[in-house]
């Protein structure tokens, strides 16, 4: 399995290697995925249609990477495995493909699909620096345009329906208890102002799970959207105890929390668990205690 983050140069080498090895016209084994999505309601599919990396396919967060939103499950609960499998097959992504995913948000959206695939044992990585990094490395290469493929439009792909691995997930009760008693490090990947409760633009209540620590996923990347150095990231995580205790990661809806989990793996720390419902589920339950401030 490849590392959780790969550079544009590494992607180019991977794709070139596939082209050299492909003598029978088979579908390439490296699939590039555009997973752009915007909290403000802009359309990732429209962004893809306007211009995307050559050969990239589009996978929609709301319909493929998440189930129906609800107060009981959160804004982006994990989809049923069958729904996930059908969505990837429709995009032409097979079980044996190596998948590299990009966005234009420092990788924090792309991380969701990458984490999902890696949790199922499939080789996948975030393209470090994403859309902008590719353009910088390929200033003379034109973007492609066109609508995302619909079901039946893409190359045939075989997808196996699996269950989500329980060992990679934490429930709402497990997360609340671990944050309270310190049996795990519960990390909140939202921005610090949302963690403190200064603002809450989308969910039922401001604040955070009592006992959780703030470690914004957006602080994992530099201004250009590329991942910070391994030493810096490892130091931040070990300062919070991620080298001594298991980690549970949450965010607003279980999307950007995946970035924290990939960073743990990237820097060689033990794998953490995702709390999929995240703050959107937790805050909607008025019986759950909430903390504000640092």
Active site residues: 251
* Residues sharing a CB contact under 8 Å with residue 118, sequence separation 6 or more, in sequence order: 1, 4, 124, 262, 265
CA distance 117 to 108: 15
- Chain-centroid distance of CA 280 in Å reads 17
Q: Which of 26, 157, 32, 17 is CA-nearest to residue 99?
A: 32
Residue 105 and residue 215 in contact, taking contact as beta carbons nearer than 8 Å: no
Which token pair is 245? 């205790």
Residue 9 and residue 128 in contact, taking contact as beta carbons nearer than 8 Å: no
Neighbour tally for 255: CB within 10 Å: 28
CA distance 193 to 216: 10
Element (H, E) at 59: none
Strands, E assignment, 131-284: 185-188, 213-214, 247-250, 273-274
Counting every residue, how long is the chain? 294
CA distance 218 to 233: 12
Largest CA distance in the chain: 61
CA distance 259 to 181: 25
């Amino acid at each position: 399995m490849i590392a959780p983050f790969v550079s544009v140069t590494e992607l180019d080498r991977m794709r070139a290697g596939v082209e050299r090895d492909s003598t029978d016209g088979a579908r390439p084994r490296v699939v590039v995925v555009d997973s752009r999505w915007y909290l403000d309601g802009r359309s990732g599919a429209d962004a893809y249609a306007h211009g995307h990396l050559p050969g990239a396919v589009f996978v929609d967060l709301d319909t493929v990477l998440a189930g129906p939103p609800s107060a009981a499950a959160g804004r982006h609960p994990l989809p049923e495995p069958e729904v996930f499998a059908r969505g990837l097959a429709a995009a032409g992504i097979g079980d044996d493909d190596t998948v590299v995913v990009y966005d234009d948000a420092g990788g924090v959206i792309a991380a969701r699909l990458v984490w999902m695939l890696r949790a199922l044992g499939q080789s996948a990585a975030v393209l470090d620096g994403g859309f902008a990094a590719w353009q910088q490395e390929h200033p003379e290469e034109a973007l492609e345009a066109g609508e995302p493929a619909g079901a039946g439009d893409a190359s045939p792909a075989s997808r196996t329906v699996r269950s989500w691995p329980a060992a990679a997930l934490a429930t709402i009760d497990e997360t609340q208890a671990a944050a309270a008693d310190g049996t795990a490090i519960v990390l909140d990947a939202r921005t610090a102002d949302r963690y403190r409760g200064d603002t809450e633009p989308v969910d039922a209540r401001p604040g955070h799970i009592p006992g959780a620590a703030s470690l914004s996923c957006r602080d994992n990347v530099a201004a250009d959207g590329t991942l910070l150095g391994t030493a810096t990231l490892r130091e931040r995580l070990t300062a919070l105890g991620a080298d001594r205790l298991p980690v549970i990661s949450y965010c607003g809806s279980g999307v950007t929390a995946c970035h924290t989990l990939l960073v743990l793996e990237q820097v060689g720390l033990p794998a953490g668990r995702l709390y999929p419902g995240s703050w959107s589920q937790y805050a909607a339950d008025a019986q759950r205690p909430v903390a504000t401030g640092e």
